[in-house]
Copies of this chain bind each other. A is one copy, B any other.
Amino acid sequence: MRFLHTADWHIGKKLHGYELWTEQEDAFQQILTLAQQKKVDAVVLAGDIYDRALPSEQAVATVNQMLQQINLTAQLPLLAISGNHDSATRLETGSPWFTATNFYLNTKLEQAFTPIELADTQFFLLPYFEPFAARQYFGDDKLRTIAQAMPKIVAAMQEKFKADKKHVLVAHFFAAGSQQSDSETKVTVGGLDAVPTDALAAFDYVALGHLHNETALHAERIKYSGSPLKFSVSEAQQQKGVWLIDTDPFQAEFLPLKPLRDVAEVTASFAQLTDPAYYGQLERDDYLAINLTDTKVIPNVMQELRKIYPYILSLSRENGREVTATSTPQIRTLSPMALLADFFQETTTQSLTTKQEKLAAAALKAAQKDGE
């Protein structure tokens, strides 16, 4: 059995206000192409298909198209679970019809104990679940965390193990010892729920979703695929991709995805950033988190930078901004309106709109009147 392991698509997610439809569609097409080129027997999708429990119509249409392309057009078996960002109830719509074409979509804990047999492998599809569901299922009030529930869950799965099959768990939780980045939502605060990897030793492979970095966990047979796209500046250095897994003999290969528009951090001075010799070397169309080394006030800084870099995510000051006595003479030469506009821009990374300018002018006038 050879399969692709992907997760955390978060369809509908925005990046600092930018919509990612084109990037998500592009990453999906890469995944589909890899699945076909590598002649996989199945695609595993380990939760957080949507970014929100109540996805927009466009997100619904996008996901519907993607799942259809994998399972109906490309005729690839698809093994999926709901994550903590999905609404299990909404996601399961249609799922009783899907199994006829080997599309298995589990959204309830109790479904996890019926393995899906494909070729040499038994897949156990364990959706994201609340400890409450485990207490109900096992009739055991002592199960207060996902970590406490997992030994019971694994034991119940082991009862279904066929000796001549490989056993793969697909799940969506926080595994102990792994590292989180900014774009993930913690399952529970404090990490009390972290599942020790020891509890997962029974499986030949564990295909995890939840953390967005494939290097979050260092275990040979328990892996996060990570998200197909960078969803925060803190992920700028990560290589996104999918795992290609062979069960017999076991082999895991990470296949990188090339982002349509990358997320990158740039640290430079305003003079450098506006110098063609400098920005000619850069991917100016990337989503950029710009870190200015300047300390002086720069008039219209965001407006000027946007002329060169259309997709700025954030603007910060590496060395802080000079607001000491030395800059006072310069500040004194500026009108109150220019100072306000500059402050607004540096703080919010946005220019004042015409409407905001009018409001600000009126406020300044009123303040002046009060002063008199």
Query: A residues touching B (Cβ–Cβ < 8 Å)?
Result: 54, 57, 60-61, 64, 68, 72, 87, 89-90, 92-98, 100-101, 103
CB distance from A131 to the nearest CB of B (A): 20
From known contacts A57-B87, A87-B57, infer whether A72 and B97 are also in contact, taking CB-CB under 8 Å: yes
Within 8 Å CB of A57, what residues of B? 87, 89-90
Q: Cα distance A101–B96 when bound, in Å?
A: 11
- Contact: B90 with A68, CB < 8 Å? no
Q: Flag if B96 contacts A93 (CB, 8 Å).
A: no
CA distance A64 to B54 in the complex (A): 17
Copies of this chain per assembly: 2
Contact of A97 among B54, B60, B61, B101 (CB under 8 A): B101
| A-side interface mostly | helix
Chain B, Cβ-Cβ closest to A95? B94
Give A65's nearest chain B residue, CB to CB. Answer: B96
CB A142 to nearest CB in B, in angstroms, measures: 29
Expressed in whole angstroms, the minimum distance between the Cβ of A49 and any Cβ of chain B is 12
Give every chain B residue within 8 A of A103 (Cβ-Cβ). 97
Task: Give A177 Cβ to nearest chain B Cβ, in Å.
Answer: 34
Interface centre among A64, A90, A97 (most CB of B within 10 A): A97
User: How far does the Cβ of A169 sit from chain B's closest Cβ, in whole Å?
Assistant: 26
For A96, the chain B residues whose CB sits under 8 A away are 68, 72
With a cutoff of 8 Å between Cβ atoms, the chain B residues found around residue A101 in the complex are 97, 100
Which residues on the B side are within 8 Å of A100 (C-beta)? 97, 100-101
- How many angstroms between the C-alpha atoms of A136 and B95 in the bound complex? 33
Return the 10 tightest CB-CB contacts between A and B, nearest first: A94-B94, A97-B97, A57-B89, A93-B93, A61-B89, A68-B96, A97-B98, A60-B89, A100-B100, A60-B90
Instruction: State in angstroms the CA–CA spacing of A97 and B89 once bound together.
Output: 18
List, in ascending order, chain B residues with CB within 8 A of A90's CB: 57, 60
